[in-house]
Structure 1
């Protein structure tokens, strides 16, 4: 029977809840909205499937087809797909192929009022909701069981998510329907860390109250307004139109609202659980200085398995691509986990006691600490110029 002694031991993939034959496990949110398994011992039959399916450990199933992944820089040939995607739209090319085969695609979309959750798509229109970065941990719900049913129905299935989610899905299918693994294709993203669902929810509520207007659309990184390389969120209001902010992005890059397991992530290396790993291609100019001069975005992919490489070969006619030397594309989170902020526990306490506005002032970009930091930075820049 699965028991989480420390929060660093659980990534929230929900494989344990989905595999339980007695539905004895519920995924219960903590005070930041991160989900953890809780067992109803009256229903538990002690089959230990929940322990067996857990893949959040150093013994997760690693790819064995290649000594190292096969990296490529990739951009979709349709520039409209690139503009409407977060990077180079390689996910669109790959998922188009799956859908054209009559398959299904799973990815992070929205439920309720921009609550991030994994969803199922059978059309390209439904799939388009999965475009773009979503800097919130998604609720997996019953998606793993849906994946299993699609595979049993003979469909090709493409699942996309963070590495811990992909590892959970693969382990769940291996332990519950291993005969269908050949039709499961998995894409994981190079993940910086998964922020709090409740902080995101309260942040949107704060913006709506501040602007006295309702939000109709969100962009975690607004490529249209600021270009691909910039990191700034924006929202669209029903009356006031699109407005940009920095507060949520600032908290994200402080690593102060991450799930605690992110600081010990077992997947922050090049032995990824996905058949293909996708990321923004930072450092693209070291390999091909011409490909992204328009700042529209370019994807990095790592083909980790032969299945992943074959899938990529299936969509080559839809994309521009070039091989990359692995050592020239190793981002920090392909080498080690993000360091969780030393005040992470205090942040959680303050958020639950005082609310989002206090958090934005004490830890974000609205208070005197941030203003003092910017002032000091500008003074140092001025001094450096005067010395030249």
Structure 2
């Protein structure tokens, strides 16, 4: 391999880290670019030009993909557990089954460490620790040497569940080079990946403006209802620990995330934002189920609660189908048509589009930091906050049959 700094073009790197796990000399290092996005570069002093990193790169390596064989609406039957999951608890149900087989689960864990919110994939071997990798985290999750750990567990004959973004799932498959009977690969319906620096700068801006110290941040809080509301735990100016529950509209970070301003350059040309997947299972929110499948909320037996969240599941392999069937009484599951899922999950049709003003947004952030962005957003929504909170309050008490009737009246 020729002498160079990057394995692929920096703007093409998905940060799957297959190269990091493959390199025999640990010559690939994590750095930050001018906008604070994580990127990988080669330490030329350690590199032996073996070319192994290029062989597993997502931009060069093609892993076998499959179209979904079956698709489902799924919800955990145990309400207490369901409330802790971002949507219908599909990942939790699958992970519990794997752990019951004395297997291992790998997923994204986020926590505050010395004032910084850090996210990365971790290894879970006990049901008591499963809560660490539940719920969504809308920031980058560093794989580090997770693929090596997975290979070690598989070689010991253990069941292994891995859940990550589609590019991380592809990175794992490229690293392993073959399928394993006891490996279950799940990916998520992904909008795109941000940077840890931007999220931490957002947290810092809240702390400065509100004079608080944030200790915990939950991206998907179900205290009100299923949706994209968030919650954070903080120490106030009097030293008292408190929780703040907020509608998604009050978060400048989520507003810019959903607008597409925060993603890595590679996310805007992602080839994995489609129904053709490398995983056994694809997991996401069954958005729009009130419109496409109102009958699921009306059933007297095995009734799904729309307020508590419903997962959509694409079974892309026979292994994925068999796993859903094994879950049994842990879940309420209904087979559904793929189009009802795709129609309300745009990232199963195409990748997130780069907004025309995204470069201007990043230039503003690079020059002035996040604090002015947060202040500007708060000023913009100030008059609407009461409306947002009233809408959330109404949703928290709205029965499913009312939701369905409103959808029929106002949503075509």
The question of a shared fold, defined as TM-score above 0.5 by the shorter chain, is answered with yes
Structure 2 Cα separation of the partners of residues 287 and 81 of structure 1: 23
Q: Tell me whether 1:77 sits opposite 2:77 in the alignment.
A: yes
CA offsets, 1:84-107, max 9 Å, x none? 111111111100111111111010
**Using the alignment, how far apart are the partners of 1:123 and 1:68 within structure 2?**
31
Deviates most, 281-290 or 293-302: 281-290
Farther off after superposition, 102-111 or 238-247 = 238-247
Q: Is the aligned partner of 1:203 residue 2:202?
A: yes
- 1:92 corresponds in structure 2 to 92
1:235 equivalent to 2:232? Answer yes
Partners of 1:5 and 1:119 in 2: CA distance: 26
For residues 306-345 of structure 1, the aligned pairs below 5 Å read 306-330=318-342, 331-345=345-359
Distance (whole Å) between structure 1 residues aligned to residue 184 and residue 92 of structure 2: 14
TM-score by length of 2: 0.82
Distance 1:50 1:58 in 2: 10
Give SS of 1:295's match: helix
Check whether the contact 2:274–2:347 (CA below 8 A) recurs between aligned residues.
yes
* Structure 1 unmatched ranges of 5 or more: 375-388
Question: Which aligned pairs between 1:302-381 and structure 2 lie closer than 5 A?
Answer: 302-330=314-342, 331-361=345-375, 365-367=377-379
Contact 1:213/1:240 (8 A) holds in 2: no
- Which residue in the other structure is 1:147 paired with? 150
Listed as ranges, the gaps of 5+ residues in structure 2 are 298-302, 386-412
1:27 to 26, 30, 43: 30
**Residues 7, 57 of structure 2: 8 Å contact kept:** no
1:12 paired with 2:11, answer no
- The count of aligned residue pairs is 362
Q: Which residue of 1 is the match for residue 54 of structure 2?
A: 51
Counterparts in 2 of 1:98 and 1:128: CA distance versus 1, 3 Å = same
Q: For the Cα contact (< 8 Å) 2:77–2:332, is it kept in 1?
A: yes
Residues 334, 195 of structure 1: CA spacing in aligned structure 2 closer, same or farther, 3 A cutoff?
same
List aligned pairs for 1:211-230, cutoff 5 A: 211-225=210-224, 227-229=225-227
Question: How far did 1:143 drift?
Answer: 1.4
Q: Distance in 1 between matches of 2:339 and 2:60?
A: 26
* Kept in 1: contact 2:214–2:232 (CA 8 A): yes
Distance, in Å, in 1 between the alignment partners of 2:207 and 2:383 is 27
- Structure 1 partner of 2:259: 254
Contact 1:56 1:266 in 2 (8 A): no
